[in-house]
């Protein structure tokens, strides 16, 4: 076996250990998350329905139970995200910068903050707007009937996507800081970045323009924020 093969095998083994640790962390939190899932579901419903006055319905005996399991998994993932981010950046960063522990600590904090901010932004701002937009099509002969599983599943999926997409400025910053891409190159290709963000938003969101724009717009703003930080951290002459 060559040195290159050994290095690749070591990276695969390190990745396997990271995935196992993250899986154990999520599994350990799942029972507590499932225990709290009824209260979390009630909170979600209050936030999403707000002042609209709509009622959510379920249509099968097991629907709410399955929904609580989804909420438990989402909650466990959210609570364990700082630990997951720590392991992920520990795996990625040394390959880019060597032993920069201070950078790892700062980027783990930023990553966790942006993930939580993305979830909160989606739940409290984006999803109520989407529900109001959906209700705007009602008429005297056509009344909206919302299923609790559809609404909550949509909310969980979109919130998780927002949390991940809000990592965009960190990824941009890390790639530029590592020297894998240059600040000038990224800045000159803004149009391609916009197209890429729109395509990703179209894939990750429901098939409606409103959801795509609401994900793409803050993601692009965060991309610009990442560029700004990268420029301020760029050393003179580079």
Note whether 37 and 72 are within 8 A (CB). yes
- Residue 102's pLDDT is what? 64
- Domain assignment of residue 57, yes or no: yes
Judgement on whether residues 116 and 154 belong to the same structural domain of the protein = yes
- Residue 187's pLDDT is what? 77
pTM of this structure: 0.79
Judgement on whether residues 116 and 195 belong to the same structural domain of the protein = no
Spatial separation of the C-alpha atoms in residues 219 and 100, rounded to whole Å: 27
- Residue 221's pLDDT is what? 85
Report the candidate in 78, 85, 83, 80 with the shortest Cα–Cα distance to residue 123: 78
- Domain assignment of residue 207, yes or no: yes
Residues 4, 19, 86, 68: what is their CA dihedral angle, to the nearest 10 degrees?
A: 160
Judgement on whether residues 81 and 113 belong to the same structural domain of the protein = yes
- Domain assignment of residue 10, yes or no: yes
Judgement on whether residues 184 and 211 belong to the same structural domain of the protein = yes
- Domain assignment of residue 70, yes or no: yes
Note whether 170 and 224 are within 8 A (CB). no
Per-residue pLDDT of the chain (238 residues; tens, 9 = 90+): 454 555 667 777 778 888 899 999 999 999 999 999 999 999 888 888 776 667 788 888 899 999 999 999 999 999 999 898 888 877 776 555 555 566 667 778 888 888 999 999 888 888 888 888 777 777 777 777 788 888 889 889 889 888 988 888 887 777 777 666 777 777 777 788 888 888 888 887 777 777 788 888 888 888 887 777 767 655 544 4
Judgement on whether residues 176 and 72 belong to the same structural domain of the protein = no
- Domain assignment of residue 97, yes or no: yes
Judgement on whether residues 203 and 173 belong to the same structural domain of the protein = yes
- Domain assignment of residue 125, yes or no: no
- Domain assignment of residue 128, yes or no: no
- Domain assignment of residue 137, yes or no: no
Say how many domains are in the chain.
2
Query: Whole domain around residue 10: which residue ranges?
Result: 3-120+144-161
- Residue 3's pLDDT is what? 47
């Amino acid at each position: 076996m060559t040195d290159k093969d050994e290095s690749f095998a070591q990276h695969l083994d390190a990745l396997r250990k990271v995935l196992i640790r993250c899986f154990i962390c999520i599994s350990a939190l799942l029972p507590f998350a499932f225990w709290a899932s009824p209260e979390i579901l009630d909170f979600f419903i209050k936030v999403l329905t707000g002042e609209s006055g709509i009622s959510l319905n379920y249509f099968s005996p097991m629907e709410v139970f399955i929904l609580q399991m989804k909420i438990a998994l989402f909650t466990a993932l959210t609570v364990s995200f700082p630990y997951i981010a720590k392991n992920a950046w520990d795996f990625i960063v040394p390959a880019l910068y060597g032993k920069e522990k201070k950078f790892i600590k700062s980027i783990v904090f930023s990553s966790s903050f942006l993930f939580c901010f993305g979830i909160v932004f989606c739940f409290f701002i984006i999803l109520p707007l989407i529900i109001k937009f959906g209700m705007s099509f009602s008429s005297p002969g056509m009344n909206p009937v919302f299923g609790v599983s559809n609404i909550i599943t949509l909310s969980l999926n979109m919130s998780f996507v927002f949390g991940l997409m809000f990592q965009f400025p960190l990824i941009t910053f890390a790639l530029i800081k590592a020297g894998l891409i240059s600040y000038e190159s990224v800045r000159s290709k803004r149009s391609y970045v916009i197209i890429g963000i729109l395509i990703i938003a179209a894939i990750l969101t429901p098939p409606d323009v409103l959801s795509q724009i609401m994900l793409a717009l803050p993601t692009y703003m965060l991309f610009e924020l990442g560029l700004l930080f990268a420029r301020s951290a760029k050393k003179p002459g580079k």
